[in-house]
Amino acid sequence: MRIGVLASGSGTILSALLGAELPIAVVVVDRHCPAEKVAADAGVTCEVVLRSDFSKSFDREGYTAAVVGVLEAHAVELVVMAGYGTVLSAAVHRRFPARVMNTHPALLPAFKGWHAVSEALAMGVKVTGCTVHLATEAVDEGLILAQEAVPVLAGDTEESLHERIKQVERRLYPEAVRAVLARLDNGEELS
């Protein structure tokens, strides 16, 4: 089972996935970022599908088609998002139905979207966490595959809380990917 990882940032999640010795065939980035070096250092091909347009007229369909084309060229069977900054169109889900995984820094369905950690702090919750789920066309929806709670401590800042969530994420995500691979190898469908 060949994995394609979509990344946009520092590459810490990518590094955790690579450290778990998962069958990663390609890393795709939407901007030049440290994840490129993480992939190169691991000897994994990294393809840049540069997103240069961040306006409202962004051609999401065309961009998604380019990303899907790269994934297909590398015979990817499972897509694993690792801090990917571009929301892709439905085309990726049509091409890889129930085979796109994502991680989110909250206990979904709570605190969906880009500001999950700051929203959890603003709401005064005592517990938040990390969720691994199947990505769908709707952002932060889809079948929940794994979750783990992270306590919110007195004096937490967005940065300190997010770092503790990332520590859990870097362990939980590779475990969840490995579990999904086992299910798919056994002929199970995810939905």
Residue 61 C-alpha from the chain's centroid: 19
Q: Which residues contact 108 (CB under 8 A, 6 or more apart)?
A: 131, 133, 140, 144, 147
Q: Parallel, antiparallel, or unpaired: how do β-strands 100-104 and 127-134 relate? A: antiparallel
**Hey, what domains does the chain have and what are their CATH numbers?**
1-96 (3.40.50.170), 100-191 (3.40.50.170)
Q: Which residues contact 16 (CB under 8 A, 6 or more apart)?
A: 169, 170, 171, 173, 174
The residue ranges of DSSP E strands in the chain, in sequence order, are 3-7, 24-29, 46-48, 78-82, 100-104, 127-134, 144-151
pLDDT at 107: 98
CA-atom Rg of the chain in angstroms: 16
pLDDT tens-digit series, residues 66-92: 999 999 999 999 999 999 989 999 999
Reply yes or no on whether 104 is catalytic: yes
Strands in 24-29's sheet, in edge-to-edge order, are 46-48, 24-29, 3-7, 78-82, 100-104, 127-134, 144-151
Task: Please classify residue 159 by burial: count the beta carbons closer than 10 Å to its beta carbon, then call 0-12 exposed, 13-18 middle and 19+ buried.
Answer: exposed
pLDDT at 190: 86
pLDDT at 191: 74
- Which of 104, 115, 133, 162 is an active site residue? 104
Residue 51 C-alpha from the chain's centroid: 17
Reply yes or no on whether the pLDDT at 163 is more than 90: yes
Can you tell me the distance from the alpha carbon of 128 to that of 47, in angstroms, rounded to the nearest whole number? 34
Can you tell me the distance from the alpha carbon of 99 to that of 35, in angstroms, rounded to the nearest whole number? 22
Q: One-letter amino acid identity for 72?
A: E
The mean predicted confidence, pLDDT, of the chain is 96
